[in-house]
A and B are shown apart, each in its own frame.
Chain A
């Protein structure tokens, strides 16, 4: 199959999953739809020479984030995962705004240039790693501090501890 067909298939997963996330009435289904969408995105990465990113996408999003979301949902023990109205009162305006934004951005990118990519090679892990640890070392270090802050913060907020007001 040509890359274009594969692109359409992966895109269908991504967009279909996305619509499922914002449309379903069941929170757990929404998380699973997100998984489908993100796997579609991983497929797109494979087509665009981002093999390492595709790997990270599957491992991180599929293997960690969705699991964490599902755990959190289980811990909230929502008896009614799918009760109640899931949209707030302004959903028509939201739909209109989103549609308008989509049209605006599509018009903006319609004139993007970019040649054929059939005979290129991706950067590979070597180039990415080299770049991350040399040229982009400072944002990398700051990002690691950021992860530490998120970790500490999550524990500090969610732990059950001594009574505090």
Chain B
């Protein structure tokens, strides 16, 4: 039997793997992919809560729709900015973004 705890632990796992990706990766696109993982973890959490606890209104699914929308828009915009950076600079390595230090 699937329980809410199963779903929430899965969501926590995805979230923390994404968290590691954001903190440890150097390439801007890889950081973006890790953030997508975190946002999907949020959605899993929301849908799980909606299924187990909020079974009259399913508010979690509605919030999840909005999260997917914002995440998609974010990826589009972020890639445009990263592409512009790459065209001007030749690298997308976040560690090498050091024109401005301290």
Main SS at interface, chain B = helix
Known contacts being A95-B24, A106-B9, is A37 close to B64, with CB within 8 Å? Answer: no
Whether the pair B80, A153 counts as a contact (CB closer than 8 A) is yes
- Residue from the list A30, A48, A85 in contact with B51, Cβ < 8 A: A48
Q: Whole-angstrom distance between the alpha carbons of A99 and B15 in the complex?
A: 11
Which of B38-53 touch A at CB < 8 Å? Answer: 40, 43-44, 47-48, 50-53
A-side contacts of B93, CB under 8 Å: 84
Bin the interface of chain B by size: 35 or more
Main SS at interface, chain A = helix
Known contacts being A85-B26, A109-B5, is A97 close to B72, with CB within 8 Å? Answer: no
A-side contacts of B64, CB under 8 Å: 50, 53
B-side contacts of A110, CB under 8 Å: 5
Interface size of A in residues (CB-CB distance below 8 Å): 83
Is A163 at the interface (CB under 8 A from chain B)? no
Could you give 17 example pairs across A and B, Cβ below 8 Å?
A4-B6, A22-B21, A30-B29, A30-B30, A60-B68, A64-B72, A69-B29, A93-B23, A98-B16, A98-B17, A106-B12, A109-B4, A112-B8, A113-B4, A117-B52, A136-B62, A155-B80
Instruction: Give 14 new A-B contacts, CB below 8 A, not counting A18-B13, A53-B64, A109-B8.
Output: A11-B10, A15-B10, A21-B30, A21-B34, A22-B25, A22-B30, A34-B33, A68-B76, A72-B79, A91-B23, A101-B15, A113-B4, A114-B5, A123-B61
